[in-house]
Amino acid sequence: MNDVQSLFSVLKQTADPKVVDAIEDLIKTGADHELNRINLIEFAAKARLGEEPVISGFLHASRLGIFDLTWNVLCPGCSGVLGAHDTLKQLRPEDYHCGLCAAGYEPSVDDQVEVAFTVSPRVRRIAAHDPNTLPSWDYWRQVFWSSGIDISEDSFGRLIDEATLEAIELPPGEKAVLSLQLPAEFVIVFEPVTHSALFLDVKGEASREKQATSMIFDGVHAPTGTIPMHPGPLRLSLENQTKARVLPSVWIAGHALHDLLGKRKPIVTAKRILANQTFRDVYKADNLNIDQRLKITSLTFLFTDLKGSTALYERVGDLAAFDLVRAHFRALLEIIASEAGAVVKTIGDAVMATFVRPEQAIAAGLRMRKAMDALNEERGTQDLLVKIGIHEGACLAVMLNDRQDYFGQTVNIAARVQGQASAQAINATGPVVKSPAVMELLRKADLSPVEKSVELRGISDKVVIYEIP
pLDDT at 208: 86
Domain limits for position 255: 157-262
pLDDT at 198: 93
Residues of the chain above pLDDT 90, percent: 64
Same domain, 323 and 395: yes
Q: Could you read off the pLDDT of 270-324 as tens digits, one per residue?
A: 999 999 999 998 887 566 777 788 889 999 999 998 875 656 666 666 666 677 7
pLDDT at 286: 63
Mean pLDDT value across residues 188-209: 93
Number of domains into which the chain is organized: 3
pLDDT at 401: 78
Q: Is the dihedral of CA 30, 34, 36, 40 positive or negative?
A: negative
Mean pLDDT value across residues 448-455: 87
Mean pLDDT value across residues 389-418: 90
Report if residue 74 sits inside a domain.
Answer: yes
pLDDT at 384: 77
Report if residue 15 sits inside a domain.
Answer: yes
Mean pLDDT value across residues 53-78: 95
Same domain, 112 and 167: no
CA angle (348, 353, 355) in 5-degree steps: 175
CB count within 10 Å of CB 34 equals: 17
User: Which domain CATH number covers 444?
Assistant: 3.30.70.1230
Same domain, 296 and 225: no
pLDDT at 139: 95
Q: Could you read off the pLDDT of 222-242 as tens digits, one per residue?
A: 556 799 999 999 999 999 999
Q: Residue 468: phi, psi to the nearest 5?
A: -95, 105
Report if residue 281 sits inside a domain.
Answer: no
Domain end, chosen from 226, 245, 262, is at: 262
pLDDT at 104: 80
Identify whether the C-beta of residue 276 lies closer than 8 Å to the C-beta of residue 284.
no
pLDDT-derived band of residue 188, with 50, 70 and 90 as boundaries?
A: very high
Report if residue 137 sits inside a domain.
Answer: no
Same domain, 359 and 453: yes
Same domain, 315 and 419: yes
pLDDT at 311: 60
pLDDT at residue 1 is higher than 50 = no
Q: Could you read off the pLDDT of 158-175 as tens digits, one per residue?
A: 888 889 999 999 999 999
Same domain, 178 and 48: no
Same domain, 102 and 205: no
Same domain, 251 and 342: no
110-119, 215-224, 228-237, 261-270: least confident range: 215-224
